[in-house]
């Protein structure tokens, strides 16, 4: 049975998962309502992702001295207000700004939430407690995103963000009600914590995360028009397909954790990125096949989210002096991939190419992640050989 103190963390993860991924499903509806193109609407995905990238290290580093439970409440207050702004934005410019602002507390919530989950967990169950929080994110893709996509398509895309804001308000209440007071780290020092960025391997890990996962987002950002215009699915079937992708993501998180327990994190990342390259190229070849696209919705979603656990382990290992900051960097890197993938995937569409063109961009980004991982492994082998020579 889940501890009551972990419920608000899982609920927060659910809300964050909804707001991050629902835009992919309602992208055509937003574009039509605001009289903009699909590639322009894709900038809304990039704006949210950039907010995550900026917000995670700044908010975590700047507030590390304060009680984590209070900090999480602040993050969720910002999340609720800015998603409410998204629902009320009358034009593209204000919606773009509100999506950036809504992304600010995303990575910070997970970075601090992981530490809080470990502190409130029963002895020996810290990892399981963290998994509970991230389970909220994956469950959002199974239930929350498809429901919000359905409502956004059949009623108004604005209602999707109203739903997100309501979940944010409920999370804020549950944080106050169920999460105990936790003392902050009075010795925290942002300048000292920033020393972790002197480690070249940390930068390589961030590059792998940012570029490699961009392959997934170049695919996922334009999945709705791909399915309707190329595969021939009816628009009303998109929520069901998003559910299939969400189930794949949930399976992926679990399987990725098991893989990371069995092989070194770097090798697990290499295996998963190489698999992503293959899946994306097959997706290009079989985009007109509806059965194949249902399979890819599950398989690519599972493959992408399976990257999460080994990448998180990799980054934390490279930032032992400031693990909470390192923990938040995983979300920053993931959302640089979100922004990069959405932007680069949209470029061929602006040049007049078809909806399979983003898939080729996606495969190239994943392949770049494979190359970067090989460089990291080579660097680690050289470092290991050098250490042996010294001894």
Q: What is residue 362's predicted lDDT score, i.e. its pLDDT?
A: 94
Q: Could you give the C-alpha distances from 217 to 59, 210, 327, in angstroms and in order? A: 25, 10, 21
* Phi, psi torsion values for 285, nearest 5 degrees: -70, -30
Angle, to 10 degrees, between the axis of helix 126-139 and the axis of helix 238-262?
Answer: 160
Tokens 């992208």 appear where?
A: 27
Q: What is residue 126's predicted lDDT score, i.e. its pLDDT?
A: 61
Q: Could you give the C-alpha distances from 36 to 40, 168, 386, in angstroms and in order? A: 6, 28, 56
Q: Could you give the C-alpha distances from 360 to 278, 281, 284, 357, in angstroms and in order? A: 11, 7, 7, 5
Tell me the C-alpha distance between 35 and 247, whole Å: 33
Q: What is residue 388's predicted lDDT score, i.e. its pLDDT?
A: 54
| Residue 225 CA, distance from chain mean position | 21
pLDDT along the chain (391 residues), means of 10: 82 91 86 88 86 85 81 95 94 94 90 79 66 78 85 90 96 92 71 81 90 90 88 86 85 78 85 95 92 93 86 78 74 82 89 90 95 92 64 50
Tokens 């069901």 appear where?
A: 240
Question: String of b and e for 75-95 (b: at least 16 CB within 10 Å)?
Answer: bbbbbbebbbbbbebeebeeb
Tokens at 330, concatenated:
């995983």
Q: What is residue 288's predicted lDDT score, i.e. its pLDDT?
A: 92
Q: Could you give the C-alpha distances from 318 to 53, 56, 90, 131, 326, in angstroms and in order? A: 18, 17, 44, 21, 8
**pTM metric for this prediction:** 0.76
SS3 annotation, the chain? CCCHHHHHHHHHHHHHHHHHHHHHHHHHHHHHHHCCCHHHHHHHHHHHHHHHHHHHHHHHHHHCCCCHHHHHHHHHHHHHHHHHHHHHCCCHHHHHHHHHHHHHHHHHHHHHHHHHHHHHCCCCCHHHHHHHHHHHHHHHHHHHHHHHHHHHHHCCHHHHHHHHHHHHHHHHHHHHHHCCCCCCCCCCCHHHHHHHHHCHHHHHHHHHHHHHCHHHHHHHCCHHHHHHHCCCCCHHHHHHHHHHHHHHHHHHHHHHHHHHHHCCHHHHHHHHHHHHHHHHHHHHHCCCCHHHHHHHHHHHHHHHHHCHHHHHHHHHHCCHHHHHHHHHHHHHHHHHHHHHHHHHHHHHHHCCCCCCHHHHHHHHHHHHHHHHHHHHHHHHHHHHHHHHHHC
**Four-way CATH pick for 4-386: 1.25.40.390, 1.20.1250.20, 3.40.50.2300, 3.40.630.30:** 1.20.1250.20
Q: What is residue 369's predicted lDDT score, i.e. its pLDDT?
A: 94
SS3 annotation, 8-57? HHHHHHHHHHHHHHHHHHHHHHHHHHHCCCHHHHHHHHHHHHHHHHHHHH
Q: How many CB atoms lie within 10 A of CB 100?
A: 20
Q: Could you give the C-alpha distances from 90 to 33, 85, 97, 102, in angstroms and in order? A: 10, 10, 12, 16
Q: What is residue 97's predicted lDDT score, i.e. its pLDDT?
A: 95
Q: What is residue 134's predicted lDDT score, i.e. its pLDDT?
A: 74
């Amino acid at each position: 049975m889940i501890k009551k103190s972990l419920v608000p963390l899982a609920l927060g993860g659910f809300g964050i998962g909804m707001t991050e991924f629902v835009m992919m499903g309602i992208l055509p509806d937003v574009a039509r309502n605001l009289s903009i193109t699909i590639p322009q609407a894709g900038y809304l995905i990039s704006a949210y992702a950039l907010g995550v990238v900026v917000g995670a290290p700044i908010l975590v580093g700047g507030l590390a001295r304060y009680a984590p439970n209070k900090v999480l409440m602040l993050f969720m207050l910002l999340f609720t207000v800015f998603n409410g702004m998204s629902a009320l934005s009358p034009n593209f410019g204000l919606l773009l700004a509100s999506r950036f602002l809504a992304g600010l507390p995303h990575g910070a919530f997970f970075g601090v939430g992981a530490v809080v989950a470990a502190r409130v967990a029963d002895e020996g169950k810290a990892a399981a407690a963290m998994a509970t929080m991230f389970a909220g994110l994956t469950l959002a893709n199974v239930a929350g995103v498809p429901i919000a996509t359905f409502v956004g398509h059949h009623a108004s895309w604005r209602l999707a963000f109203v739903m997100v804001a309501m979940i944010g308000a409920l999370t804020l209440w549950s944080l106050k009600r169920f999460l105990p007071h936790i003392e902050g780290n009075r010795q925290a020092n942002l300048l000292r914590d920033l020393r972790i960025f002197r480690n070249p391997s940390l930068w390589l890990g961030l590059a792998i995360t940012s570029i490699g996962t961009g392959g997934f987002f170049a695919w996922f950002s334009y999945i709705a028009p791909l399915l309707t215009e190329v595969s021939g699915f009816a628009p009303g079937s998109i929520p069901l397909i998003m559910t299939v992708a969400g189930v794949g993501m949930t399976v992926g998180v679990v399987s990725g954790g098991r893989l990371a327990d069995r092989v070194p994190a770097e090798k697990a990342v290499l295996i998963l990125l190489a698999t992503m390259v293959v899946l994306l190229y097959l997706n290009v070849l079989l985009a007109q096949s509806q059965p194949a696209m249902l399979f890819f919705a599950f398989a690519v979603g599972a493959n992408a989210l399976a990257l999460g656990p080994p990448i998180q382990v990799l980054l934390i290992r490279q930032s032992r002096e400031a693990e909470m900051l390192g923990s938040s960097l995983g979300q920053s890197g993931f959302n640089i991939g979100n922004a990069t993938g959405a932007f680069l995937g949209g470029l061929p569409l602006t040049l007049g190419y078809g909806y399979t063109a983003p898939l080729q961009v996606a495969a190239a980004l994943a392949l770049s992640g494979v190359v970067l991982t090989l460089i990291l492994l080579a660097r680690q082998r050289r470092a290991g050989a050098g250490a042996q020579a010294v001894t």
